[in-house]
Amino acid sequence: MVQSEGIASEPTPATLRIAVLDRDSGFLQVLDKRLERVGWERRVLGSSVAPRAIVPMRLSAVIVDLGVIGPSCWEWLERLCSELPELPVVVCTGSSTVAQRVRGLRLGADDWLTKPCHPEELIARVEAVVRRRRRLESPVQSLPILAGEVEIHRDQYQAFVAGVSLDLTRREFELIELLAESGGRVLEREFIYQRLWGYSMVRGDRSVDVFVRKLRQKLERVSPKWRYIHTHFGIGYRFAAESTEVDAAIEPLAALQEVSERSDEFDFART
């Protein structure tokens, strides 16, 4: 007992927020006491939830008993790990075979424990997984994101053009960071809202569009020769640095090509 208390009193990552997908009342009761002792925020989910529903929870890690998911547990685990690759996942489930554990880890789980297990070990495993993730992300997080003339400095929560700050608000910075990290993918408005505000978007809410417009204006003011945020109507937004000077040079060529194609069509019609 003394040893257990000693382990629990060791320093733990601050303000970790975890979700526990489990229905074992006895296990949850013991685990909850340990989590309360280390000061972690926790949320118990008694049934399967869609990965998209986990996004607004802003979790540090998730602990899952695959038995709660049922026959579709493998598909669910794969979807969770692929849609939320930055979220540490620790499987804590009943007896399993080597093949099952290997499959779970290959699908994206960061660790696997077999019940019964001691809550202190589970907490230590979660700590280790979160620590590893932070080490891996730390060098990348310190490097600026470069796009066109813009440098996005995550450590300063600001973006710059030729050393001039865009003077972004916290929300505007979170928006440009999210868009720039998407690798040119189109992000849906609902996804952007969930990531930035932390909960589902109410029908008719235009907050995302308002912040995109403000961010565009600031980008255009300091970098007028580039376009960065592109609208996909009815869907969302895409971030890609495109020079307006290149567009201006292409437009006359495109017009000449169109005239030439029409001339060819006319000549063909006469023959």
In this prediction, residue 200 carries a pLDDT of: 67
Inter-residue contact 136 to 88 (CB < 8 Å): no
pTM of the model: 0.54
Residue 32: exposure state from Cβ atoms within 10 A (0-12, 13-18, ≥19): middle
Provide CATH 1.10.10.10 ranges for the chain: 145-247
Considering the segment(s) 2-140 as one domain, its CATH architecture is: 3-Layer(aba) Sandwich (3.40)
In this prediction, residue 261 carries a pLDDT of: 41
Angle at the Cα of 208 from the Cα atoms of 180 and 51, rounded to 5 degrees: 70
User: Is the dihedral angle over the CA atoms 48, 49, 51, 55 positive or is it negative?
Assistant: negative
Q: Is the peptide bond before 116 cis (omega within 30 degrees of 0)?
A: yes
In this prediction, residue 15 carries a pLDDT of: 67
Nearest to 57 by CA among 37, 92, 84, 30: 84
Q: Which amino acid is at 157?
A: Y
Provide CATH 3.40.50.2300 ranges for the chain: 2-140
Inter-residue contact 149 to 223 (CB < 8 Å): yes
Angle at the Cα of 84 from the Cα atoms of 38 and 40, rounded to 5 degrees: 10
Inter-residue contact 211 to 195 (CB < 8 Å): no
Angle at the Cα of 209 from the Cα atoms of 59 and 219, rounded to 5 degrees: 95
In this prediction, residue 141 carries a pLDDT of: 57
- Lookup: tokens for 259: 């005239």
Residue 91, SS3 per DSSP: strand
Q: What fold does the segment set 145-247 form as a domain?
A: Arc Repressor Mutant, subunit A (1.10.10)
Return averaged pLDDT per consecutive 10 residues of the chain, 271 residues in all: 37 69 88 87 84 80 90 90 85 89 88 88 88 67 83 86 87 91 89 76 85 94 93 93 68 47 40 36
Report the b/e string of 97-111 with b at 16+ CB within 10 A: eeebbebbeebbbbb
Strand partners, 253: none
Locate all alpha helices (DSSP H) within the chain, ordered by sequence: 2-8, 25-38, 51-54, 66-69, 73-83, 98-107, 119-142, 170-180, 189-197, 207-222, 244-270
User: Is the dihedral angle over the CA atoms 184, 195, 189, 159 positive or is it negative?
Assistant: negative
